[in-house]
Structure 1
Amino acid sequence: MWEGPLRPDLWARRNPIGAQRPLSHCSPELCRRVRRCLLRRLKRATDYLLIDISNSYTKLAFASRDKLGRTERIETARLNAAALAKVIRGHALQKIVVSSVVPKKDAFIKRAAGKTEVLFVSAKCELGVGVDYPGPGSIGADRLANAAAVAALYGTPAVVVDFGTAVTFDVVSAERCYIGGVIAPGLEAMTTYLYNRTALLPKLSLAEPRRAVGRSTKAAMMSGAIFGYRGLVKEILAKIGAEAFGKKRAQIVATGGYAKLIAARLPEIDAVCPDLTLEGLRIIGNLNR
């Protein structure tokens, strides 16, 4: 039984980390216990800074060894050392774990990190899965993070469908090996291309179409984009399943910007995990200590 006017866990709940509240009303022993409690919470919350740099956007999250914090997203074009230094300031990080497909941004990470260890994910890292691929150095770090996450969180065999600037399909065998995948144009890239390359077609804000037969140019484009894209995903998944898994049932997990929209009418997809790549970075951070 806790002795004293206020349990430290209740105090911390009422006074979030960083709140400037004097402890003079507490007994010296209670003050020490409260401070220890808060320091433990702070340390757990900031084991890692996870950074997933894609061509269009960068996602960031602080994480403990077993849980992600809140994720933030910024345009990759705006990512620089000064912005990262502001994010890092005030946090006692053990490590920064990075998946990057934009190499020119890597120097900003190193500069902002200072003396904090930075782990850039590659096939040389411990991933929790093997890599059975002719050119492992050419595999995107985000794809390796996805493979690590799906194997740890959902089991194998598995396919990750990542709806980003491109849509990628990453395949993990029943033997827990990354064996390759598929890359196709992203949904937004396809619709933006139509807008940029034609005189009369409008730019779309993608949403679920009401019907297949569009009653306007915009509705017809929306139907083609969403239903057509689902057809693309469905066909690729069927080909992957027949070639890689035979009669085995694979876990199909979607992530990325349009995952919920496209997966909503695709029974082939078992789960949607918006932060799968960041989860993979957390897992890889744990494995490379």
Structure 2
Amino acid sequence: MIILVLDMGGTNLKYALMNEKFDFLEKKAICSPIDSRKNFFETILNLYNQYKQQISGVAISLAGRVNTEIGYVHHGGSYQFIKEEFLQKEFEELFHCPVTIANDAECALLGEHRFGNLEGVQNAISIIIGTAIGGSILINGKIYKGSHCNSGEFSSIVIDPKNKDWSRYWFAHNSYQALTNKYAKLKNIDSSSVTGKIFFENIDEDSEKIKILNIFCKDMANAIYNLQCAFDVEKIIIGGGVSQQPILINTINEEVKKIFKKMEMFHVVCPEISPCKYANDSNLLGALLVHIDKYYR
């Protein structure tokens, strides 16, 4: 059995051929087709046609509010033209093979719970730093979807209510682009020219980068404290490609310890903070888990 697994990020579409043993047989990435519905379907159809002789199904990880059980997408995150539709059924009619669609942050959490840094953990939260802020919640060993499949939509959490523009929301403070855009603005350069690699390159020798990182991590720590007050989990994992930067995780941990120390009168237990073991691959692993659980178990 070989499955085509797609992780539909807001910047990159990562895809892989994987087998039932969760081996990566092939793995690549292309730019995300977020510009139009036509390009979205054409891009995915082209990938399917490229591998259709080898695969027996398609597993998709997608940002946004997704009802995995029935394959219904209420909204597709960065893919703003995807809303209120049975997207799984549309793809099955197009591909003539089994398809699954699941929220990307839930996929990351599932992948880490089965194979990575959440093995054996019963209560946890994933925070995925990407084009926005993805999230998922594990309660008693199971994904908590909420009453409307809307749990973990962390991007829209209000962080700074005094602001009237987008900067009031969490994604404006702790997304991947929030980090790189602040540096681009400081240097008066095109934000598209600043990648995570450029930002973290020689960061120990750049006081301006350190200042931006410290503010970023302080905002993240405040949000983590609020989440812990609500869910009281054992562990919180940080995902997305940027999570593999040790200085980021170390600084988040430092800021988390500070705020929990400051708020110790409320007796909120500080959770363990760690990166996703498999970084962006967690989404692919989790998407395949969803597919196998639905069609082969």
Alignment partner, residue 270 of structure 1? 274
- Following superposition, the deviation at residue 89 of structure 1 comes to 4.5
The one-character-per-residue Cα deviations of 1:10-33 (angstroms, maximum 9, x if unpaired) are xxxxxxxxxxxxxxxxxxxxxxxx
Alignment partner, residue 210 of structure 1? 204
Q: Tell me, what secondary structure is at the counterpart of 2:110?
A: helix
TM-score w.r.t. length of structure 2: 0.60
Alignment partner, residue 47 of structure 2? 84
**What is the rounded CA distance, in whole Å, between the counterparts of 2:9 and 2:130 in structure 1?**
8
1:144–1:193 distance in 2 versus 1, CA, 3 Å: same
1:68–1:167 distance in 2 versus 1, CA, 3 Å: farther
Alignment partner, residue 127 of structure 2? 161
Assess if the C-alpha contact under 8 Å between 1:187 and 1:225 holds in 2: no
Q: Establish whether residue 190 from structure 1 lines up as the match of residue 178 from structure 2.
A: yes
Alignment partner, residue 72 of structure 1? 28
Alignment partner, residue 18 of structure 1? none
Q: Tell me, what secondary structure is at the counterpart of 1:254?
A: strand
TM-score w.r.t. length of structure 1: 0.62
Q: Establish whether residue 236 from structure 1 lines up as the match of residue 236 from structure 2.
A: no
Assess if the C-alpha contact under 8 Å between 2:127 and 2:133 holds in 1: yes
Q: 1:35-54 maps to which residues of 2 (within 5 A)?
A: 43=1, 46=2, 48-54=3-9
* Range that drifts further, 76-85 or 223-232: 76-85
Assess if the C-alpha contact under 8 Å between 2:11 and 2:131 holds in 1: yes
Assess if the C-alpha contact under 8 Å between 1:97 and 1:282 holds in 2: yes
The one-character-per-residue Cα deviations of 1:140-190 (angstroms, maximum 9, x if unpaired) are x21332343344342320111211101233222235241533223254422
1:81–1:96 distance in 2 versus 1, CA, 3 Å: closer
**What is the rounded CA distance, in whole Å, between the counterparts of 2:282 and 2:47 in structure 1?**
22
- Following superposition, the deviation at residue 116 of structure 1 comes to 2.3
Assess if the C-alpha contact under 8 Å between 2:106 and 2:135 holds in 1: no
**What is the rounded CA distance, in whole Å, between the counterparts of 1:103 and 1:51 in structure 2?**
18
1:199–1:258 distance in 2 versus 1, CA, 3 Å: closer
The one-character-per-residue Cα deviations of 1:66-111 (angstroms, maximum 9, x if unpaired) are 31304321101376156314531441x221011233375869x839
**What is the rounded CA distance, in whole Å, between the counterparts of 1:120 and 1:149 in structure 2?**
15
Counterpart amino acid of residue 228 in structure 1: I
Q: Tell me, what secondary structure is at the counterpart of 1:206?
A: helix
Q: 1:95-134 maps to which residues of 2 (within 5 A)?
A: 95-100=57-62, 101=76, 102=79, 110=91, 114-121=95-102
Alignment partner, residue 253 of structure 1? 237
Assess if the C-alpha contact under 8 Å between 1:149 and 1:280 holds in 2: yes
Stretches of structure 1 that go unaligned for 5 or more consecutive residues are 1-42, 122-140, 215-219
Q: Establish whether residue 149 from structure 1 lines up as the match of residue 111 from structure 2.
A: yes
- Following superposition, the deviation at residue 229 of structure 1 comes to 1.6
Percent identity, please: 12
**What is the rounded CA distance, in whole Å, between the counterparts of 1:257 and 1:52 in structure 2?**
13
1:151–1:98 distance in 2 versus 1, CA, 3 Å: same
Counterpart amino acid of residue 46 in structure 2: A
Assess if the C-alpha contact under 8 Å between 2:7 and 2:13 holds in 1: yes
